[in-house]
Amino acid sequence: MSETKFKDIANQITSRIEQGIYAAGAKLPPHRELANELGTTPATVSKAYKLLAELGRVESFVGRGTFVRDKSALSQVIQPQHQELDFNFSILQPCLGLNLNALTQAYSRAAETLSPTLLAYADDSGHSSHRAAGAIWLQKHGLQSASSENVLLTNGAQHALSLLVETLTEPGDTIAVEALTYPGILAIANLAGREVVGVNLDEDGLCPKHLRKVIKQHSPKLVICIPSHQNPTGITMSVSRRQAIADVIKASSTYLVEDDIYAFLNNAPIPAISDLLPQQSIYITSLSKAVSPAMRCGYIKAPDTLLPVLAAHIRANIWLASPINFAAATDLIEQGTAFELASAQLREAEYRQTVTANILKDFYETASGFHIWLKLPEHWRVDRLVEEAKKRAILVSHGGYFSVGDTPNCVRLSLMAISSRDRFEEGLGQFAELLASKPMPFSDFLN
């Protein structure tokens, strides 16, 4: 059976559901009947039904069959279990309602596999099967050099970043980052007593010319960059820019840390910079954006020369990341469900980007992924805008959180944390009204 045949069948069933051919609450045909209709096998139809159940589109009952979820049942999956009091555009995470059913089933299956081996200590930062699954995830999204032998397991990408800073630098050393970057990197450097220098960005991402200058002037031990759907700007580096960055790094003695956590949002895999720098780069990612932040499954691919020291630091700090989390993650990856969940998040992000472009049409610039980087109109200063938005229960991220230098008059809006599409659009509409309005006089603001 083709590895993608059952997914094709699942897509056909989904299309029929959306067209109303299989109505909400309707019973789907028996496996053999649908297999005969579609020219496939009952086993293939069974796998398609199982995938759709994990994605929350259908539900199966022993002895009764498989049924299309009705709208009320599906809303229980998609809607949060508590009332969302704020319009939260500040948290950069997946739309978790889309993944809840699959996560529940994956953890249930992981619980059924509990054994003394899984619950015990493990060498090499974790079980080889979990590292092999991580390599599959990395290879799928552009890192061809990943294998179970050169992948280490961490408690998410944040832990991986902290581990690399602690292992490969010393207090007082310099780390080069994008001039606008993920605040977690800045927090790690600050706590660890490392100096940070910003590298300019242009429309294609990290600027090679300025990176060369920064390396010459500051001799950073690490250069950290986010090549795909960069946080906060949303820029994705082209293949030629990735090659240019690799060329600059090759001419230096620094290491590149490639934080490619959003690679799954590329419509087609883009070759990783790390494949161009096998001895001078460390590639990190996790499942937090595609599957769930709570899963805490991070992966590091590093040169063979660094693997022993990195593994030693993992043992010294946490001994090993939770095998139970990685058992569930491995199940999702091996079953192919993790990739289906990632694709569903991509489709949802594309929908929400389209809605955002329409509602914020006077302010929106071309973007993709989970967020937008919004330049404010001249009549708004970022401090005032963030405060006024908060008064309206609209939470956005201040541009200063991301800046190594001067504070940009910008905000970052995450588009995925609000579970309901209707509520997302409502909050976005209110934010658009705020942007279009003029701020009150400062004297009134103080009162």
pLDDT tens-digit map of 302-317: 999 999 999 999 999 9
205 by Cβ neighbours in 10 Å (0-12 / 13-18 / 19+) ranks as buried
| Interatomic CA distance for residues 31 and 58, integer angstroms | 14
pLDDT at 47: 87
| Interatomic CA distance for residues 221 and 192, integer angstroms | 14
| Interatomic CA distance for residues 31 and 49, integer angstroms | 9
pLDDT at 3: 55
- Residues 54-59, mean pLDDT to the nearest whole number: 79
Work out the pLDDT band at 12, boundaries 50, 70, 90: confident
Average pLDDT, the chain: 90
pLDDT tens-digit map of 175-215: 999 999 999 999 999 999 999 999 999 999 999 999 999 99
Q: Hey, what amino acid is at 154?
A: T
pLDDT score of 25 more than 50: yes
| Interatomic CA distance for residues 228 and 225, integer angstroms | 9
Query: What is the percent of the chain with per-residue pLDDT over 90, rounded to a whole number?
Result: 73
pLDDT at 78: 40
Residues with Cβ within 8 Å of residue 107, at least 6 apart in sequence: 328
Beta strands in 121-219 (DSSP E): 151-154, 174-178, 195-199, 201-202, 205-206
How far, in Å, are 23, 117, 181, 193, 306 from residue 325 at the CA level?
36, 15, 28, 32, 25
Q: Which of 146, 110, 113, 151 is nearest to 131 (CA)?
A: 151
pLDDT tens-digit map of 400-410: 999 998 889 99
Structure tokens at 189: 């450097």
Work out the pLDDT band at 351, boundaries 50, 70, 90: very high
The residues that bridge with 298 in the sheet, in sequence order, are 154, 286
pLDDT tens-digit map of 76-109: 334 444 456 689 999 999 999 999 999 999 999 9
Buried-state track 16-39, b at ≥16 Cβ within 10 A, e below 16: ebeeeebeeebebbebeebbeebe
| Interatomic CA distance for residues 281 and 258, integer angstroms | 7
pLDDT score of 112 more than 50: yes
The residues that bridge with 259 in the sheet, in sequence order, are 284
pLDDT at 318: 92
Residue, of 152 and 445, whose pLDDT is higher: 152
Q: Cis (ω within 30 of 0) for the bond into 42?
A: no
pLDDT score of 325 more than 80: yes
Record the pTM.
Answer: 0.80
Can you spell out the DSSP letters for 198-241? EE-EETTEE-HHHHHHHHHHH--SEEEE--SS-TTT-----HHH
